[in-house]
Structure 1
């Protein structure tokens, strides 16, 4: 399916959703929240949610009525990207507003992932946490008079309170709710930043309740809530009743089916997004809230495949970096609108700044661009998008993903550049170049570098120039332990 067919399909789905949401919109608040002139900001960043794993994207398996209604009330971005293919670097880019070479965060934990005998190069060392010297969007909003709260996964340091959040609900350095001594999605959680709940309570439900309590405390004041409730990241620990429901839905379906436990977690995510939006509407605050709904990277291949997109989380093919994105801002963003403009989560920082009326501090580097022109029906200036990953990220299981170039790694060291429909990959181990036209080949199956050598050359030169400008490191040292074949 090409890009234009996909866009047409989304438009048809959106038309239906507008009809479904019309009734509930009647009850939306009228006018701006009393005592508040600047918009509230609600950033919903779901963990590992695939581009296709939502009803408004055409899924007949996943049930997401609340997110679908949000899509009908706002703008859907069909070509939205995470700035990295896994959690920490994507979140670091979002909160810093800067490309990964500027933060040094390229992956989770160490950069020499996978067996040493399979790695030709010594990768660039990884920085695990966001430096305190980085001015985050939360810090700017807090300095500008916003009440700020983080709810859920942080993964960029020990405590988000150190980087602009007045309230921290369950956020710490862990990347999933079962890491280390943490208890998982069901209480007891053993999370030092969350008061223990009754046994069997579900983490996402609890985080949402705490987030709503924070919102209640901010009446009459603008707020910024970063809602990142761990879900749908592994471990797959769904509510059993919902899992049984999706097991029943699988009957009679074709091969390569999604994981019913994951599907159940998607529904739980959706229900909690609905709780937040319902609160805002009932409290008369929905009309004055800018809502951004997205995912931090592509879907996890082993639980939900993203065909026609290639590969999944951890890879720099479309399945690893293309993500769902909805922006809803009543009165400023046209309900039911759809755009195919390529954007990334680097754009959130300048967009939020512009929406809130705050100025960018002198010397603060921002690598994204404000999306406000899109809300006015204008186009963004055509630009280059970049990804840089001088690291290794091993496959979950050797050979389990046939979409990857080799059985051992989701990512080998390299860089990617996109402009318009053209996307070029470069891999540092052997200098391999791949060129794709996403307009005609969204699945990145047909390498066009031999047919369009001038196009490939121009993109490659631009990519090298960008690396020089940003100081992006390129590993060149050979790994002495590398062997072509295992003995």
Structure 2
């Protein structure tokens, strides 16, 4: 059994320890035969978030341009999923998320589930019951890092992981080093220090995490310059929370064009810090004299986040593509892609070939002349022919996303195939009489996916759907299934693609005031809702998108909490708003931004009748606050008899109206 190395507070300290303990002596001639590999993965970076494609006037990415000048830029680089964890699993295994079973970004949740499972139920306004994603990357997979390690490479992971905490961290998946050893879905608290990583302290006040990560990565390259290394630099940028260096925010405030959909100074500043990190890595490769023997890959884990509110705007725009992160349209899955390999890939070249996240593993095997394992299977293909200026021989690429986030450009659970310029989306059980529904697009003549050609070309729909069916069978995908409790009278097809923005950022309205609304009976309305009291009920009026409200627990409730910290939040709710709800909790000593790490979803029955809801959860620290997200769509909810109980059913605190 190999030794699992604990994360270091700084890599520089580890280098000194390594020199003292064992030395760093390798055969330099052997290193020349094995190129280093630097894999840079941005988080939520959209197709139009760099200057590589001529689609932005606002952002500045000179280091991305430097990188592209050294290799090949792909105009059709696709993530394997419109959300992060599935794509990350695909990169590390060469498999589709349909096969890894990670189809949703839930790998930070407490429950450890290795396989996807069938869903139990769905509300009557939903046509399909969604499956439950796996919540960990199973260690049975022979990962990219394990392949490198077994072929004489030093391996290190820097940055975001989001495929599971120990025993499913990078240290159990082939990496010798993991900094900052953080399993969450985004940076711990903020980008600018002080941050909240358990074993990774800032060195200076206001230190930016991307600057620090790049510094640590450079120290690693310096230590391993005389031996082959695989450096997995998975950025936190530009995922929420949205904050940045103030001097950069001020810089971009002067450049804002109110008519440009890309007009968030904070997001532009985040883009620049991301680009600076790329520049730091390039400079280090040059300074160390190893750039000519290093493969560099740059990609994004999904499309740009068009839906969160930032600076009285949206985070970004993926135009000319439709949609963004969490959608099946091009803006959700197409992003920047660059591959550099001196002597193999022509500098400054471009390709329109279709590539996907699962392709990188088999591609690196071919470039390094390493054989795959005897029983190893890939859903991706080697893109070496494209890297050498040729064409790829592939039938199509598939995107499996059996989920339905409540964002603008929303779609029911779906799977898609790209074949050449054709793209077919199958919407599970969303047609008439429980049949599937289809959207067909010709991307060559309609990149914006505004014209659905399914009715016009039924033969192409049949051909592409047969490909989809073969893919689903081959991967053994756990599929959505028809909802036997579906009630057509409660289904509103006009809601498709009509959800409002997270944080209510469509445009300033009475529902999205810059000044926070006053608390109501101790509950602070947030997002896209207003609160009021009617008798003994808390009335929630939602405009859709992200309605939620928060309250802090009194000290008396903290004193009554059990040591086991198992709780159930109970309440009665009458609702006519579609979609599921969520309960979040705030733990003592943990930043409120960690709400995304501590939540439990619950199904809502939107029939206008009172229903009892009981949401159980456990915490690591005393619970000091509760947040309720009662829906994601527009509607009115009336809530009463809210109480928090312990594992024995005893009331810790009750809220009266």
1:412, distance to aligned residue in structure 2 (A): 2.1
- Asked if 2 retains the 8 angstrom alpha-carbon contact of 1:258 and 1:305, the reply is no
Output aligned runs, 1:76-87, within 5 Å: 76-87=73-84
Distance 1:284 1:193 in 2: 32
**Residue 352 (structure 2) aligned to one of 340, 349, 353:** 340
Deviates more, 1:472-481 or 1:184-193: 472-481
Rg (Cα) greater in structure: 2
Structure with greater proportional helix content: 1
Structure with greater proportional strand content: 2
1:327, distance to aligned residue in structure 2 (A): 0.6
Partner in structure 2 of residue 70 of structure 1: 67
Change (3 A) 1:100 1:263: same
**Residue 48 (structure 2) aligned to one of 40, 46, 52:** 52
Partner in structure 2 of residue 256 of structure 1: 261
TM normalised by structure 1 equals 0.86
1:121, distance to aligned residue in structure 2 (A): 2.2
Distance 1:96 1:311 in 2: 27
Partner in structure 1 of residue 99 of structure 2: 102
Distance 1:276 1:479 in 2: 54
**Structure 1 residue 171 corresponds to structure 2 residue 178:** no
RMSD: 2.0
- Asked if 2 retains the 8 angstrom alpha-carbon contact of 1:64 and 1:270, the reply is yes
Distance 2:185 2:212 in 1: 18
Distance 2:484 2:242 in 1: 36
Higher RCO, 1 vs 2 (CA within 8 Å, ≥6 residues apart): 1
Query: Alignment partner of 1:188: what SS?
Result: coil
1:382, distance to aligned residue in structure 2 (A): 3.4
Query: Alignment partner of 2:305: what SS?
Result: coil
1:259, distance to aligned residue in structure 2 (A): 1.5
Partner in structure 1 of residue 470 of structure 2: 465
Output aligned runs, 1:415-454, within 5 Å: 415-430=415-430, 431-454=436-459
Partner in structure 2 of residue 266 of structure 1: 271
TM normalised by structure 2 equals 0.64
- Asked if 2 retains the 8 angstrom alpha-carbon contact of 1:152 and 1:169, the reply is yes
Distance 1:33 1:370 in 2: 27
Question: Unmatched 5+ residue regions in structure 1?
Answer: 1-31, 396-400, 405-409
**Structure 1 residue 150 corresponds to structure 2 residue 157:** yes
- Asked if 1 retains the 8 angstrom alpha-carbon contact of 2:58 and 2:262, the reply is no
- Asked if 2 retains the 8 angstrom alpha-carbon contact of 1:176 and 1:230, the reply is yes
Query: Alignment partner of 2:152: what SS?
Result: coil
**Structure 1 residue 190 corresponds to structure 2 residue 196:** yes
Q: When the two structures are aligned, how many residues end up with a matched partner?
A: 438
Distance 2:32 2:61 in 1: 31
Distance 1:66 1:33 in 2: 31
- Asked if 1 retains the 8 angstrom alpha-carbon contact of 2:328 and 2:414, the reply is no
**Residue 140 (structure 1) aligned to one of 117, 129, 147:** 147
Distance 1:311 1:52 in 2: 12
Query: Alignment partner of 2:426: what SS?
Result: strand
Output aligned runs, 1:22-421, within 5 Å: 35-58=31-54, 59-109=56-106, 116=123, 118-158=125-165, 159-177=169-187, 182-251=188-257, 253-302=258-307, 303-395=315-407, 401=408, 404=409, 410-421=410-421
1:338, distance to aligned residue in structure 2 (A): 0.7
Distance 2:31 2:440 in 1: 53
Change (3 A) 1:117 1:263: farther
Distance 2:155 2:86 in 1: 22
1:207, distance to aligned residue in structure 2 (A): 0.8
Question: Unmatched 5+ residue regions in structure 2?
Answer: 1-27, 110-115, 308-314, 431-435, 493-575, 577-607, 609-657
- Asked if 1 retains the 8 angstrom alpha-carbon contact of 2:79 and 2:335, the reply is yes
- Asked if 2 retains the 8 angstrom alpha-carbon contact of 1:313 and 1:319, the reply is yes
Change (3 A) 1:274 1:224: same
Change (3 A) 1:273 1:378: same
Distance 1:91 1:457 in 2: 31
Distance 1:274 1:255 in 2: 27
Change (3 A) 1:284 1:257: closer
- Asked if 2 retains the 8 angstrom alpha-carbon contact of 1:187 and 1:197, the reply is no
Distance 1:34 1:370 in 2: 25
Deviations 1:173-207 (A, max 9, x none): 20111xxxx33212232213424433321111111
Query: Alignment partner of 1:393: what SS?
Result: coil
Deviates more, 1:285-294 or 1:451-460: 451-460
Distance 2:174 2:67 in 1: 27
